[in-house]
Structure 1
Amino acid sequence: MDGVASLAVQLGPSARVLGPLIGLPEPILYGIASGVALLIGSLLGVVWSPSDRLMGALLAFAGGALVTAAAYELIERAFQVGGQWLVAGSLMAGAIIFAGADFAFKEFTSGEGESRWSLLASVTLDGVPENAALGIVLLGSSGAGLALVAAFFASNFPQALGGTEAMLEDGYGTWKTVGGWFVVAVVVGGSVWAGNVLFAGTGAAVLAGLRAFAGGAILASLADEVFPDAYEDVSSLTAVATALGFLMTHLLK
């Protein structure tokens, strides 16, 4: 286990070298890595329909991964830099604002059904603040963001996989469905670059507050969306998958 942990730690600096080697800035490279999970999930969803139990396990894995990423990469690091009241207030603001926006969105699209275009908008609503936070993490020297992008990949993939199946069942064509996910992937992946550029030069306290805000939004999305779907069909597989997701991002942080 020590060897695995050591290898995972070494991946952070390697990721920093990879971007310049292939001619891409690091925020764009991480944005591609985050967004491509949506494309892979949508393309795979065209030809494959996973069982409900497997989908639950994939979502549980994503939930465990996001819990670790939010706790260690965002919230803990924010408390190390910012004041307790600032970080605590930002965390709660992120959770309350996300929950309120998500509630309003569901009320507005209640007649559309989650399998329609409202699903794409919902994934975008989740993904933009999360990936903007990844861009903010890349501004600091305390972490390379590898744990975050791995957690986002684990979360985006099953959402696109299950969403594609639902959209095809609703009568959307293959190209229309995959094209919609491509647009979402560009917007979500581009948020990494946007967060990195827009907040460059911002003070450490402000960045800490933004990290905590994003962490609160992620925790709210887990409670509101990810875990309820993951544990709709509870099994030992979903329990183990949650622990595996937690372990993965812990080793990569």
Structure 2
Amino acid sequence: MELLKAFGLGTLAQASLLLAGLVVCWVKVPTRIVGILAGFGAGAMISAVAFDLLPEAEVHIAMWQTVLWMLIGVGVFLLGDYVVDKRFGSEGAGGAMGIVVGSVVDGVPESLIFGIQIGIGATISPTFLAAVFVSNIPQAIAPSADLAGRGWGPARLGRLWVMVVLGCGVAAGLGYLLTTATSDAYGERAAALAAGGLLAMLTNSLIPFAYERGKQLAGVATVVGFCLTLLGT
């Protein structure tokens, strides 16, 4: 029962990726708005790295271990980005898919942490769960609008985001199972890995994507996203 609860929580927290990713198939989002939303999402992620993921890591492991796992996260993102570049090219759809890779690097460790929290009996904050759900919306709309403009239909976009969401649900289940195998499972390494991968994705994919489409307003949106997320912490 607890395993199913972990899977359900991981899926629910990331379900907004699927919902927001499909909206663009029926609602035309102007390019400038896509850039602004991407900037807002970038600001929210910077805040999450600084005030959520890194503090989670620093509580239980030494700083050198945090740095090591952040670098591993960078490697995971670069590997995923390389695969995307080989499949879609570095321009066009490849740029949008790089943001999707970032969603995976963010969502999977995040879901793993949810599963670990259930396994150790920790209280999961509804506010934090809601923040994860809401912050995923611009993260999904930005690449999905770009992909839809390049001919991706609802079925193809839906399959893409369903795989991401289900993968996060599986990660949450694995996080729970990890606590049954060892008592030393806090999710700090997953948090550091996600932080490193997100910072790499922000520099390589999301922030350039936001500025290209939102111009100067992308920077404003980034600060707004950072500040609103900061107020919610």
User: Counterpart in 2 of 1:89?
Assistant: 68
Closer, same or farther: CA 83–105 of 1 in aligned 2, 3 Å: same
Amino acid aligned to 1:108: K
User: Counterpart in 2 of 1:119?
Assistant: 97
Deviations 1:65-97 (A, max 9, x none): 1111122222123223211222222222222x1
User: Counterpart in 2 of 1:192?
Assistant: 172
Q: Does 1:60 align with 2:12?
A: no
TM-score (normalizing by structure 2): 0.75
Amino acid aligned to 2:28: S
Kept in 2: contact 1:138–1:144 (CA 8 A): no
CA distance in 2, matches of 1:205, 1:196: 9
In the TM superposition, what is the alpha-carbon distance from 1:56 to its structure 2 partner? 1.3
Kept in 2: contact 1:124–1:187 (CA 8 A): no
In the TM superposition, what is the alpha-carbon distance from 1:26 to its structure 2 partner? 6.1
Closer, same or farther: CA 63–135 of 1 in aligned 2, 3 Å: farther
User: Counterpart in 2 of 1:106?
Assistant: 84
Closer, same or farther: CA 88–142 of 1 in aligned 2, 3 Å: farther
Kept in 2: contact 1:69–1:147 (CA 8 A): no
Deviations 1:210-230 (A, max 9, x none): 322222122122222211111
Q: Secondary structure at the match of 1:109?
A: helix
CA distance in 1, matches of 2:43, 2:64: 27
User: Counterpart in 2 of 1:11?
Assistant: none
CA distance in 2, matches of 1:219, 1:77: 16
In the TM superposition, what is the alpha-carbon distance from 1:235 to its structure 2 partner? 4.3
Closer, same or farther: CA 169–67 of 1 in aligned 2, 3 Å: closer
CA distance in 1, matches of 2:78, 2:91: 19
Kept in 2: contact 1:230–1:238 (CA 8 A): yes
User: Counterpart in 2 of 1:150?
Assistant: 131
Q: Does 1:70 align with 2:64?
A: no
Q: Percent identity?
A: 26
CA distance in 1, matches of 2:89, 2:67: 36
User: Counterpart in 1 of 2:30?
Assistant: 51
User: Counterpart in 1 of 2:154?
Assistant: 174
Amino acid aligned to 1:177: L
Kept in 2: contact 1:151–1:249 (CA 8 A): no
In the TM superposition, what is the alpha-carbon distance from 1:136 to its structure 2 partner? 4.2
Task: Give 1 or 2 for the bigger CA radius of gyration.
Answer: 1
In the TM superposition, what is the alpha-carbon distance from 1:45 to its structure 2 partner? 0.8
CA distance in 1, matches of 2:47, 2:91: 31
CA distance in 2, matches of 1:197, 1:205: 10
> In structure 1, which of residues 218, 237, 241 is the aligned counterpart of residue 221 of structure 2?
241
Unaligned runs of 5+ in 1: 1-19
Kept in 2: contact 1:81–1:204 (CA 8 A): no
CA distance in 1, matches of 2:102, 2:199: 15
CA distance in 1, matches of 2:91, 2:214: 24
Unaligned runs of 5+ in 2: none
CA distance in 2, matches of 1:87, 1:142: 24
In the TM superposition, what is the alpha-carbon distance from 1:197 to its structure 2 partner? 3.2
Closer, same or farther: CA 134–178 of 1 in aligned 2, 3 Å: same
